[in-house]
A and B are shown apart, each in its own frame.
Chain A
Protein backbone atom coordinates (compact mmCIF):
# COMPACT_ATOMS: atom_id res chain seq x y z
CA UNK A 1 0.00 0.00 0.00
CA UNK A 2 1.34 3.42 -0.93
CA UNK A 3 1.74 5.87 1.93
CA UNK A 4 -0.26 8.54 0.11
CA UNK A 5 -2.73 7.49 -2.56
CA UNK A 6 -4.50 9.55 -5.16
CA UNK A 7 -6.51 8.65 -8.22
CA UNK A 8 -4.33 9.59 -11.19
CA UNK A 9 -7.29 10.78 -13.26
CA UNK A 10 -7.80 12.61 -15.40
CA UNK A 11 -10.78 14.07 -13.60
CA UNK A 12 -12.77 16.01 -16.18
CA UNK A 13 -15.34 18.60 -15.09
CA UNK A 14 -17.17 21.36 -16.99
CA UNK A 15 -16.34 24.99 -16.32
CA UNK A 16 -18.27 26.28 -13.30
CA UNK A 17 -18.67 22.87 -11.69
CA UNK A 18 -17.22 21.66 -8.39
CA UNK A 19 -14.12 19.51 -8.69
CA UNK A 20 -13.53 17.05 -5.87
CA UNK A 21 -10.06 15.62 -5.38
CA UNK A 22 -9.38 12.90 -2.84
CA UNK A 23 -6.35 11.55 -1.05
CA UNK A 24 -5.90 8.75 1.48
CA UNK A 25 -2.86 8.16 3.66
CA UNK A 26 -1.61 5.22 5.65
CA UNK A 27 0.18 6.78 8.65
CA UNK A 28 -2.38 7.21 11.43
CA UNK A 29 -0.37 9.83 13.32
CA UNK A 30 0.36 12.19 10.43
CA UNK A 31 -0.19 15.78 11.52
CA UNK A 32 0.35 18.03 8.53
CA UNK A 33 -1.46 17.90 5.20
CA UNK A 34 -0.95 19.96 2.07
CA UNK A 35 -2.39 20.36 -1.39
CA UNK A 36 -0.09 21.55 -4.16
CA UNK A 37 -0.97 22.47 -7.73
CA UNK A 38 1.50 21.70 -10.51
CA UNK A 39 1.15 22.93 -14.06
CA UNK A 40 2.87 20.89 -16.74
CA UNK A 41 6.60 21.58 -16.77
CA UNK A 42 6.41 23.80 -13.68
CA UNK A 43 7.20 23.40 -10.00
CA UNK A 44 4.55 22.62 -7.37
CA UNK A 45 2.88 25.58 -5.71
CA UNK A 46 0.99 25.48 -2.43
CA UNK A 47 -2.80 25.68 -2.59
CA UNK A 48 -3.85 24.77 0.94
CA UNK A 49 -2.48 23.46 4.20
CA UNK A 50 -4.62 21.84 6.90
CA UNK A 51 -3.64 20.53 10.31
CA UNK A 52 -6.95 19.87 12.12
CA UNK A 53 -10.03 17.80 11.40
CA UNK A 54 -12.78 19.58 9.54
CA UNK A 55 -12.97 22.06 6.70
CA UNK A 56 -10.71 24.94 5.80
CA UNK A 57 -11.80 27.41 3.13
CA UNK A 58 -9.71 29.81 1.08
CA UNK A 59 -11.52 31.51 -1.76
CA UNK A 60 -12.76 28.86 -4.20
CA UNK A 61 -10.78 26.13 -2.46
CA UNK A 62 -11.87 24.03 0.52
CA UNK A 63 -9.68 21.41 2.15
CA UNK A 64 -11.36 18.72 4.23
CA UNK A 65 -9.52 16.51 6.70
CA UNK A 66 -10.81 13.39 8.42
CA UNK A 67 -8.05 11.81 10.50
CA UNK A 68 -10.24 8.95 11.73
CA UNK A 69 -10.83 7.82 8.14
CA UNK A 70 -7.36 8.92 7.02
CA UNK A 71 -8.40 10.99 4.09
CA UNK A 72 -7.99 14.54 2.98
CA UNK A 73 -9.85 16.14 0.09
CA UNK A 74 -9.78 19.34 -1.93
CA UNK A 75 -12.89 20.93 -3.37
CA UNK A 76 -12.60 23.53 -6.10
CA UNK A 77 -15.77 25.53 -6.59
CA UNK A 78 -16.63 27.34 -9.82
CA UNK A 79 -13.85 25.47 -11.64
CA UNK A 80 -12.03 27.43 -14.34
CA UNK A 81 -9.99 26.19 -17.31
CA UNK A 82 -6.97 27.75 -15.55
CA UNK A 83 -7.46 25.21 -12.75
CA UNK A 84 -6.47 22.45 -15.18
CA UNK A 85 -3.32 21.01 -13.62
CA UNK A 86 -2.07 18.12 -11.53
CA UNK A 87 -2.95 18.33 -7.85
CA UNK A 88 -0.55 16.74 -5.40
CA UNK A 89 -1.50 15.66 -1.90
CA UNK A 90 1.34 15.67 0.67
CA UNK A 91 1.44 14.28 4.19
CA UNK A 92 4.16 14.26 6.81
CA UNK A 93 5.47 10.94 8.07
CA UNK A 94 5.22 10.13 11.77
CA UNK A 95 8.44 10.15 13.72
CA UNK A 96 10.12 12.33 11.17
CA UNK A 97 8.12 15.46 10.70
CA UNK A 98 10.57 16.82 8.16
CA UNK A 99 9.71 14.09 5.70
CA UNK A 100 6.82 15.17 3.52
CA UNK A 101 5.47 12.31 1.43
CA UNK A 102 3.69 13.12 -1.82
CA UNK A 103 1.00 11.25 -3.68
CA UNK A 104 1.47 10.76 -7.40
CA UNK A 105 -1.14 13.41 -8.15
CA UNK A 106 -4.55 13.74 -9.78
CA UNK A 107 -4.76 15.39 -13.17
CA UNK A 108 -7.71 17.78 -13.40
CA UNK A 109 -9.15 18.94 -16.72
CA UNK A 110 -11.72 21.74 -16.70
CA UNK A 111 -13.65 21.83 -19.97
CA UNK A 112 -14.71 25.30 -21.24
Chain B
Protein backbone atom coordinates (compact mmCIF):
# COMPACT_ATOMS: atom_id res chain seq x y z
CA UNK B 1 0.00 0.00 0.00
CA UNK B 2 1.74 3.16 -1.22
CA UNK B 3 -0.60 5.68 0.49
CA UNK B 4 0.58 9.22 -0.32
CA UNK B 5 3.66 9.46 -2.54
CA UNK B 6 5.64 12.65 -2.97
CA UNK B 7 8.43 13.41 -5.42
CA UNK B 8 11.15 14.50 -5.23
CA UNK B 9 12.40 13.77 -1.71
CA UNK B 10 15.10 16.45 -1.84
CA UNK B 11 15.64 19.47 -4.06
CA UNK B 12 18.04 22.40 -4.16
CA UNK B 13 17.06 25.43 -6.21
CA UNK B 14 18.66 28.76 -6.94
CA UNK B 15 16.64 31.91 -6.31
CA UNK B 16 14.32 32.56 -9.25
CA UNK B 17 14.18 28.97 -10.49
CA UNK B 18 10.87 27.16 -10.79
CA UNK B 19 9.85 23.63 -9.91
CA UNK B 20 6.82 21.44 -9.37
CA UNK B 21 6.33 19.12 -6.41
CA UNK B 22 4.29 16.07 -7.26
CA UNK B 23 1.87 14.21 -5.01
CA UNK B 24 -0.26 11.15 -5.68
CA UNK B 25 -2.52 9.09 -3.42
CA UNK B 26 -3.98 5.67 -4.01
CA UNK B 27 -6.55 5.62 -1.19
CA UNK B 28 -9.44 7.01 -3.25
CA UNK B 29 -9.49 10.12 -1.07
CA UNK B 30 -11.39 13.13 -2.36
CA UNK B 31 -9.47 15.88 -0.52
CA UNK B 32 -5.81 16.73 -0.82
CA UNK B 33 -3.58 19.30 0.86
CA UNK B 34 -0.14 20.91 0.73
CA UNK B 35 1.56 21.97 3.96
CA UNK B 36 4.95 23.45 4.70
CA UNK B 37 6.82 22.89 7.95
CA UNK B 38 9.45 25.26 9.28
CA UNK B 39 11.35 24.92 12.58
CA UNK B 40 9.22 26.19 15.48
CA UNK B 41 6.29 27.00 13.18
CA UNK B 42 4.43 23.73 12.98
CA UNK B 43 2.62 22.79 9.78
CA UNK B 44 1.04 25.60 7.78
CA UNK B 45 -1.53 25.00 5.06
CA UNK B 46 -0.54 26.35 1.65
CA UNK B 47 -3.40 25.16 -0.58
CA UNK B 48 -6.01 22.47 -0.49
CA UNK B 49 -8.36 20.74 -2.89
CA UNK B 50 -11.64 19.66 -1.37
CA UNK B 51 -12.51 17.57 -4.41
CA UNK B 52 -11.41 17.02 -7.98
CA UNK B 53 -11.77 20.25 -9.92
CA UNK B 54 -11.56 22.62 -6.93
CA UNK B 55 -8.66 24.32 -5.18
CA UNK B 56 -8.55 26.90 -2.40
CA UNK B 57 -5.96 28.97 -0.59
CA UNK B 58 -4.75 28.08 2.86
CA UNK B 59 -2.82 30.17 5.37
CA UNK B 60 0.32 30.85 3.30
CA UNK B 61 -0.48 30.66 -0.45
CA UNK B 62 1.72 33.51 -1.73
CA UNK B 63 4.40 32.35 -4.15
CA UNK B 64 2.70 29.03 -4.91
CA UNK B 65 0.23 27.60 -7.38
CA UNK B 66 -1.49 24.23 -7.40
CA UNK B 67 -3.16 21.90 -9.85
CA UNK B 68 -5.55 19.09 -9.04
CA UNK B 69 -4.77 17.00 -12.07
CA UNK B 70 -7.28 14.25 -11.28
CA UNK B 71 -8.62 12.54 -8.19
CA UNK B 72 -5.24 10.97 -7.40
CA UNK B 73 -2.79 13.79 -8.12
CA UNK B 74 -2.24 17.25 -6.63
CA UNK B 75 0.85 19.25 -7.61
CA UNK B 76 2.44 22.33 -6.06
CA UNK B 77 4.39 24.76 -8.23
CA UNK B 78 6.91 27.39 -7.23
CA UNK B 79 7.15 29.80 -10.15
CA UNK B 80 10.11 31.85 -8.88
CA UNK B 81 11.70 30.29 -5.82
CA UNK B 82 12.84 32.50 -2.94
CA UNK B 83 15.04 31.63 0.07
CA UNK B 84 11.95 32.11 2.29
CA UNK B 85 10.49 29.04 0.61
CA UNK B 86 13.20 26.81 2.04
CA UNK B 87 11.15 24.33 4.02
CA UNK B 88 9.86 20.78 4.25
CA UNK B 89 6.74 20.31 2.17
CA UNK B 90 4.14 17.68 3.01
CA UNK B 91 1.29 16.52 0.87
CA UNK B 92 -1.70 14.97 2.64
CA UNK B 93 -5.07 13.52 1.77
CA UNK B 94 -8.27 12.44 3.46
CA UNK B 95 -11.76 11.26 2.76
CA UNK B 96 -14.33 13.94 3.37
CA UNK B 97 -17.41 12.34 4.93
CA UNK B 98 -19.12 15.40 6.36
CA UNK B 99 -16.74 15.34 9.29
CA UNK B 100 -13.06 16.12 9.00
CA UNK B 101 -11.34 12.75 8.95
CA UNK B 102 -7.63 12.36 9.77
CA UNK B 103 -5.04 13.38 7.24
CA UNK B 104 -2.61 10.85 5.76
CA UNK B 105 0.76 12.41 5.00
CA UNK B 106 3.40 11.72 2.40
CA UNK B 107 7.08 11.45 3.37
CA UNK B 108 7.84 15.06 2.56
CA UNK B 109 10.03 17.03 0.17
CA UNK B 110 12.99 18.87 1.64
CA UNK B 111 13.54 22.00 -0.43
CA UNK B 112 16.47 24.37 -0.11
CA UNK B 113 16.54 27.64 -2.03
CA UNK B 114 19.94 29.35 -2.19
Contact = CB atoms under 8 A, between A and B. Distances in A.
Interface residues of B, number: 26
Given A43-B90, A43-B106, A44-B105, A100 B42 contact: no
Given A43-B90, A98-B31, A98-B48, A105 B42 contact: yes
B102 to A, nearest CB: 5
Contacts of A43: 90, 105-108
A98 B96 contact: yes
Which of B35, B100, B102, B107 has its CB near the most chain A CB atoms (within 10 A)? B100
Interface of B: 31, 33, 35, 40-45, 48, 50, 56, 58-59, 90, 96, 99-108
Contact of A8 (B40, B45, B90, B105): B40
Contact of B40 (A42, A97, A104): A104
Given A43-B107, A101-B59, 14 more contacts: A4-B42, A31-B100, A34-B102, A34-B103, A45-B105, A46-B102, A46-B104, A88-B43, A98-B31, A98-B96, A98-B100, A100-B100, A102-B35, A105-B42
